[in-house]
Amino acid sequence: MFLEQLTLKNYRNYEQGCWQFQNKVNVILGENAQGKTNIMESIYVLSMAKSHRTTNDKDLIRWDKDYAKIEGKVGKKNGPIFLQLTVSKKGKKAKLNYIEQAKLSSYVGHMNVVMFAPEDLNLVKGSPQIRRRFIDMEIGQVSPVYMHELGQYQKVLQQRNQYLKLLQSKKQTDETFLDVLTEQLVELAVKITLKRYEFIELLQTWAKPIHAEISRGHEQLAIHYCPSVDVLDKQQWSRIVEVYNDKFTQIKTKEIERGTTLIGPHRDDLSFTINGKDVQTFGSQGQQRTTALSLKLAEIDLIFSEIGEYPILLLDDVLSELDDFRQTHLLNAIQGKVQTFVTTTSIDGIEHRVVRDADVYEVVSGQMMRR
């Protein structure tokens, strides 16, 4: 798949603009704070109906306007599709082929993107929240039902935390409603946990040979899912439910004392090992970056294996963060394979055919022009 046309209105520092793109590498040049990353973000938001940079949708709207609109024409093997997302102070409206979608989960997944930005290099050494977000966003692209279940989990979790706070402050004393919320939370938690296990297994299948190739055969990468409850992916559904219920019973008093939910998918994590050693603790910066690069390249193949089309790759200011060897490997891997958008302040010094053959755009103060 590839993005044929992008139209923006009142998006960040873009008043309006419409651009046509080829199914190849598109380089977006510009100094910092001119709007390069805003273009990348708009493509991501068009795909995922949420930003990778902010949780506040109002940030996407041009400062003196009431709404922002992103439209895209996406070329796919079965013909083009048309996507439209409008963000206002009242919320978001999504249209697929000009028909408004009742749920965002029925919109997400029709255009797939893989974003690789400098903050993704913190995937290994950063907080567990970064790794959970990585898992959730990627599973959501190939499994819209997962995004729906995750949204339901977040709602029940919020209700449960609110009720725990009422029990903590003695404004409520009846624990029956807490038990009802726990039962609902466990059912959703098990679905999310099993889907994450399945995803990590697939991701490892693709990431392991990529990492071995980048490390010239010297390193073996392994990815481990670390749930906050001692469950295994090979266990039966009923057994995992039982483990969750037992754990919630054990920590019930502690949760009321603290006024928050202490276990569940919102507390899970990932870990990575190279040749059996933990990369976060013992890995060099180079190994950590190779691990992040391997994961991102693996996502491309994983999505292709699941949906039969390659996603769109967004490389936001990341080439300058990689040394020549990793940069060359990345560019070789995408050559002639995926439509790619690359933002950078300069292409000087990048001696690679992919960049030489690219379409180049220049951004100045919220205006983007083809060179």
Same domain, yes or no: 98 and 247: no
User: 172 lies in a domain?
Assistant: yes
User: 78 lies in a domain?
Assistant: yes
pLDDT of 251 higher than 80 = yes
Same domain, yes or no: 135 and 239: yes
User: 165 lies in a domain?
Assistant: yes
Same domain, yes or no: 147 and 186: yes
Residue 327's pLDDT is 85
Same domain, yes or no: 227 and 339: no
User: 301 lies in a domain?
Assistant: no
Same domain, yes or no: 138 and 107: no
Ligand-binding site membership of 35 (annotated): yes
Ligand-binding site membership of 34 (annotated): yes
State the residue range of the domain holding 218: 121-286
Highest mean pLDDT among 105-109, 114-118, 309-313: 309-313
Task: Name the more confident of 351 and 353.
Answer: 353
Ligand-binding site membership of 79 (annotated): no
User: 144 lies in a domain?
Assistant: yes
Ligand-binding site membership of 273 (annotated): no
Do the Cβ atoms of 66 and 88 come closer than 8 Å?
yes
Ligand-binding site membership of 328 (annotated): no
- Strands 113-116 and 312-316, by their bridges, are parallel
Q: What is the pLDDT of residues 126-161, one digit of tens each?
A: 999 989 988 998 898 888 889 889 999 999 999 999
User: 297 lies in a domain?
Assistant: no
Residue 299's pLDDT is 92
Q: What is the pLDDT of residues 53-108, one digit of tens each?
A: 888 899 999 998 999 999 999 999 999 999 999 999 899 999 999 999 998 888 98
pTM (two decimals): 0.87
Ligand-binding site membership of 287 (annotated): no
Of 286, 320, 354, the last residue of a domain is 286
pLDDT of 225 higher than 90 = yes
Same domain, yes or no: 269 and 313: no
d(CA 223, CA 313): 22
From residue 111, give the alpha-carbon distance in Å to each of 43, 76, 137, 301, 311. Answer: 10, 9, 13, 15, 7
CATH number at residue 354: 3.40.50.300
Mapped onto helix, strand or coil, the DSSP state of residue 170 is coil
Same domain, yes or no: 180 and 131: yes
Q: What is the pLDDT of residues 261-288, one digit of tens each?
A: 999 999 999 999 999 999 999 999 889 9
Same domain, yes or no: 177 and 241: yes
pLDDT of 28 higher than 90 = yes
Same domain, yes or no: 278 and 155: yes
pLDDT of 168 higher than 90 = yes
User: 17 lies in a domain?
Assistant: yes
Ligand-binding site membership of 30 (annotated): yes
**For 200-209, which contacts have Cβ atoms below 8 Å and span 24 or more sequence positions?**
200/135, 200/224, 200/225, 200/270, 201/233, 202/302, 202/305, 202/306, 203/138, 203/295, 203/298, 203/299, 203/302, 206/297, 206/298, 206/299, 206/301, 206/302, 206/305, 207/294, 207/295, 207/297, 207/298
From residue 187, give the alpha-carbon distance in Å to each of 99, 116, 154, 245, 266. Answer: 33, 33, 13, 10, 14
Query: For the chain, how many structural domains are there in total?
Result: 2
User: 343 lies in a domain?
Assistant: yes
Ligand-binding site membership of 291 (annotated): no
CATH number at residue 256: 1.20.1050.90
